[in-house]
Amino acid sequence: MDRGLISTIGTKALLAGAGVLLLYWTVTAVKLVLSTRSINPLLKQFFTQIANGQVDGAYLLTTKNYRTHVNRKQFINFLAGLKLNKYRNLKSGRPRLNDGQLILTVKLLTEAKEELPLDFTFVKLDDQWRIDRIRSQAA
Under DSSP, is residue 31 helix (H, G, I), strand (E, B) or coil?
helix
The pLDDT of residue 45 is 93
The pLDDT of residue 5 is 63
With CA atoms as reference, report the closest residue to 44 among 106, 100, 119. 106
pLDDT band for position 126 (cuts 50, 70, 90): confident
Under DSSP, is residue 114 helix (H, G, I), strand (E, B) or coil?
coil
pTM comes to 0.72
pLDDT band for position 121 (cuts 50, 70, 90): very high
Compute the residue count for the chain.
Answer: 139
The pLDDT of residue 10 is 76
For the cut 90, the answer to whether the pLDDT of residue 17 exceeds it is no
Tens of pLDDT, residue by residue over 48-107, are: 999 999 999 999 999 999 999 999 999 999 999 988 888 888 888 888 888 888 899 999
Under DSSP, is residue 103 helix (H, G, I), strand (E, B) or coil?
strand
Tens of pLDDT, residue by residue over 30-53, are: 665 656 667 888 999 999 999 999
Cβ neighbours for 84, distance < 8 A, ≥ 6 positions apart: 47, 50, 51, 108
